[in-house]
């Protein structure tokens, strides 16, 4: 039996996900000269001489990160890979390899694992990534999947969270809020089913947002686009926990102030109707929803002409000296942002 020398019992929820990471890694010291970037970014960077090797790991747990009542196993395998590859692309890198760890209870037959791996192989095929190893073990509490993604980053193009500077522009790919609204629809239909199993789920017309939740895509294409446009981001992060949280990360890591305009945030038209139906604010959904896996990055203001006409990219704000993150509302009020993305530790 493990006995702590400290009898104090601090609830994990009091720290939150990121606070817990900071707390547990506070004493981690870099000892090797080739560790170019350690804990605290989308991926670690290891100096390989002529390039950096990027490494990132994510753990997905049943009942916390996914619900098998509406998440198909093949989609789960696909998504578990994609969310890890997204971290490599968020370093402005190219993903190359993954390893897979799965813990599974005896309620799952072999065929279920085959479905998960079908999704994993599909993602590897689409993103030109090789599955090179992993581990499988038993679990007494459901299904858990851990993916480690490994990639390559050119030294002169590495985009850390800490590089944003005064007068940089803040840019986001794609649109935001779809994944969260997809989750709301799925949860609603789940409750309807639990109350009346004979009722068919009403999912027609929601294909876009459902795919954003169940089968997201990592923005490898944006990394390729920026390279073609000869634009090197000064900082970058993927939007996994909500735009608000990611803006806070960029501001804190770069020691700058970030300011975004509410009326510039890209939102798919279908989201507006759904938000009315669910009595939700579109801005709140876009800022705090999470799981969109779009790329949020900063660029020098001199690069604006290179990206301004591209439909995949939207300038949503600017960086200036200072600290914190602000939302400039449609009526030009300045609201200080607080990180309110999904907290897995609550």
pLDDT tops 80 at residue 116:
yes
pLDDT tier at 1 (50, 70, 90 boundaries)? very low
Percent of the chain with pLDDT over 70: 90
pLDDT tops 70 at residue 14:
no
- Kindly list the structural domains of the chain, giving each domain's residue range(s) and its CATH number in brackets, ordered by start: 12-157 (3.30.1330.10), 169-336 (3.90.650.10)
pLDDT in tens, 236-259: 999 999 999 999 999 999 999 999
pLDDT in tens, 178-233: 999 999 999 999 998 888 887 777 788 899 999 999 999 999 999 999 999 999 99
Phi-psi region of 179 (alpha: psi -120 to 50; beta: other; left: phi over 0): alpha
Mean pLDDT value across the chain = 91
Q: Rounded mean pLDDT of 142-161?
A: 97
Cross-strand bridge partners of residue 146? 59, 101
Q: In what order do the strands lie in the sheet with 257-261?
A: 235-238, 295-299, 169-173, 313-320, 257-261, 325-328, 334-336
Under 8 Å between Cβ of 55 and 268? no
Cross-strand bridge partners of residue 109? none
pLDDT in tens, 18-57: 565 565 555 667 778 899 988 889 999 999 999 999 999 9
pLDDT at 212: 97
* 3 state SS of 285: helix
């Amino acid at each position: 039996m493990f006995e702590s020398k400290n009898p104090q019992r601090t609830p994990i929820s009091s720290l939150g996900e990121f606070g817990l990471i900071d707390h547990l890694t506070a004493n981690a010291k870099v000892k090797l000269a080739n560790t170019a970037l350690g804990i605290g970014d989308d991926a670690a960077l290891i100096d390989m001489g002529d390039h950096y090797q990027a490494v990132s790991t994510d753990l997905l747990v049943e009942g916390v990160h996914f619900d098998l009542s509406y998440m198909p196993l093949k989609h789960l395998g696909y998504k578990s890979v994609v969310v890890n590859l997204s971290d490599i692309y968020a370093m402005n890198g190219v993903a190359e390899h993954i390893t897979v760890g799965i813990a599974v209870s005896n309620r799952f037959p072999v065929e279920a694992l085959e479905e998960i791996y079908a999704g994993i192989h599909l993602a590897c095929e689409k993103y030109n990534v090789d599955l090179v190893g992993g581990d499988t073990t038993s679990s007494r509490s459901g299904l858990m999947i851990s993916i480690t993604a490994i990639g390559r980053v050119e030294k002169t193009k590495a985009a850390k969270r800490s590089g944003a500077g005064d007068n940089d522009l803040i840019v986001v790919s794609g649109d935001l809020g779809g994944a969260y609204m997809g989750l709301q629809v799925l949860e609603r239909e789940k409750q309807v089913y639990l109350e009346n199993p004979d009722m068919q789920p009403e999912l027609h017309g929601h294909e876009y947002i459902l795919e954003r939740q169940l089968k997201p895509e990592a923005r490898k294409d944006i990394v390729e686009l920026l390279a073609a446009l000869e634009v090197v981001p000064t900082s970058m992060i993927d939007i996994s926990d909500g735009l608000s949280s990611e803006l806070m990360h960029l501001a804190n890591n770069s020691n700058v102030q970030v300011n975004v305009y509410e009326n510039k945030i890209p939102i798919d038209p279908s989201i507006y109707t759904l938000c009315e139906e669910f009595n939700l604010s579109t801005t709140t959904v876009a800022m705090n929803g999470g799981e969109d896996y779009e790329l949020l990055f900063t660029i020098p203001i001199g690069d604006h002409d290179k990206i301004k006409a591209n439909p995949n990219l939207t300038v949503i704000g600017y960086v200036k000296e200072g600290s914190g993150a602000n939302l400039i509302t449609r009526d030009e009020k300045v609201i200080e942002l607080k990180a309110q993305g999904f907290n897995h530790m609550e």
